[in-house]
Every structure is written in structure tokens, then in C-alpha cells.
Structure 1
Amino acid sequence: MPVPTDWIEHRRHDRELVGWIRPARDDEGDGDFVVVDLLGRERTDAVDWLTAEEALEELGIGYLADPYELLLDDGRWLRVRITEVSTDEIRVKRDDWGAIDIPLLEYTVPFPIPHTLRIVDPAAPAEPLWS
């Protein structure tokens, strides 16, 4: 999905893209803007411009390094790591915990992040799922 033309890029001081600020719709409250992260998720309610910028600066890009889970066709959730993000697609690979003796499994999901890719529940056991 191409980014809508009314989304405004926000870059940190080193020019790294950290997300977008989009105009709020009339039904979203009193603020003028909504923060959208690099995965296409809305991260604030409607806020003013300064609050939106501050929210993106605070958010950063660290969440891209978090473990995620991908819903496989057979209904199992596979622990994955994000390897690439663009407004065309999100690429992930099976979380291999640094093992070099297993095959690389990569998957592509659409942007914005679909419900089939979610952040790992911290209470879930962190066990590798080797196929």
C-alpha cells in the first residue's frame, strides 16, 4: 500500500524515518494529528503537532527489534524477527536465536502490519519452533 499523500514523514536528527504524522479525521477527537509508526500502526489518539512529533521521537525504531509472532497457514504461531520494513511489505524471518545449523525461513506480509503478525506476549514461553 502506498503511503497516503497526506501522511507527513517524520525523521529523527540523523534523517532516519521514524514514522508519519497524519491529519486526524473529524471523528477522532480534538487534536489535529495522529502518529503512525513504521509498521503502519496508529500510536496516538488525535493530538497537536508538537505532541505528535514528541511521540515519534520517544517511540523511535527500537520496537522493530522486538520478537513478533506470525500466524502460519496451519494455525500455529511462529516466533519471528522483522528483517525489513517498507510501505510495500514487511519481511520477517523465523527467530533462530543465532543458530547457524537450521534453514532460514523468511516470510513477507503486507504493509500496514496485518493481524497475522503480532508482538510476542511477554508471558509466552520463548521456545524455538523448528520445522
Structure 2
Amino acid sequence: MLPADWIEHRRPDDREPVGWIRPDGDDWVAVSLLGRALTGPVDWAVAEEALEETGLSWMADAWMLERDDDEPLRVRLVEVTPDRVVVQTDDFGAIDAPVERFELPWPAPDGLRPRRDGDPDGWVVLAG
């Protein structure tokens, strides 16, 4: 649930929400739509700048979903709200590819992370 003292921040150009700014003592912390801190305690202008620089482009990126019982999965974000985060296995743009969806809590768990060098890229079918 979204804390009552978090203040929604929207991009100035199109008023699209890009996150929140939450109080931290006399300072402020920029928080992404995934509910993750983007900054430590900073002044208001720095928090706004961090949210605007981060924007929404990261939502189109491939992510990795770490799983305790299996290999990490390459996923795409489908829905991000203060109620839940929904991801699905990457379909690589194919409209007929089978996908599996996962509903995660919000804020997003640490097991949902950006891709790193060395992560499976999804393009290697057979190696050997």
C-alpha cells in the first residue's frame, strides 16, 4: 500500500507519473514506480531531477526474475501499480509466443532486477 506521505511526481512535459518523493527527516528520497529508492536523502530539487532523468524508458527494458528453485527468467514488465507488479516471460515481440505471467508484490522484490552482463539473452537455443 502506498504510504500517505509519499508525493506523486509527474513529468512536466506530459504529466505522466514517474514515481514519488517521500520525506526522510528534513530531506526527501526519490522513489521509482517499482517502489524502490532512487536516491538517498537529498533536497527536493535533486529528488525531482532523479525521477525525471530516470523517466519511464526502463519499463520497456528486459528484466530478470530470480527464482529460488530454478534459473532466472528473462521477463518484461506488464503492469506496475502500488497494488502489484505483473511480469511475463519475454516474448521477443512475437504476438503468438506462449508466455507465463507472474504477479509480484509491490514494492517489487529484489528478485526482479535489471539484466546484467552474463544473464541469458534468450537468443541462444542450442549451445555446445
TM-score w.r.t. the length of structure 2 is 0.87
The alpha carbon displacement at 1:50 in A equals 1.1
Task: Give the corresponding residue for 1:114.
Answer: 109
Identity over the aligned pairs, expressed in percent?
A: 50
Deviation readout 1:8-41 (Å, 9 max, x if unpaired): 100112121100000014xxxxx61010000011
**SS in structure 2 of the partner of residue 20 of structure 1:** strand
- Code of the residue aligned with 1:98 in structure 2: it is G
Task: Please tell me whether the aligned partners of residues 79 and 128 of structure 1 are also in contact (alpha carbons under 8 angstroms).
Answer: no
The residue aligned with 1:55 is 50
Counterpart pick for 1:64 among 53, 59, 73:
59
1:1-131 aligned at under 5 Å gives the runs 2-13=1-12, 14-25=14-25, 32-72=27-67, 74-127=69-122
Residues paired across the two proteins, number: 124
- Unaligned segments of structure 1, at least 5 residues: 26-30
The one-letter code matched in structure 2 to 1:4 is: P
Q: 1:95 corresponds to which letter in structure 2?
A: D
What's the offset of the Cα at 1:101?
4.2
Q: After the TM superposition, which parts of structure 1 deviate over 4 Å for at least 4 consecutive aligned residues?
A: none
The Cα of 1:116 is off from its aligned counterpart by 1.9
| Distance (Å, rounded) in 1 between the aligned partners of 2:66 and 2:40 | 28
Q: Is the 8 A contact 1:79 1:129 kept in 2?
A: no
CA distance in 2, matches of 1:32, 1:84: 30
SS at match of 1:21: strand
> Structure 2 regions of 5+ residues with no counterpart?
none
Asked if the contact 1:68–1:119 (Cα under 8 Å) also holds between the matched residues in 2, the reply is yes
The Cα RMSD (Å) is: 1.9
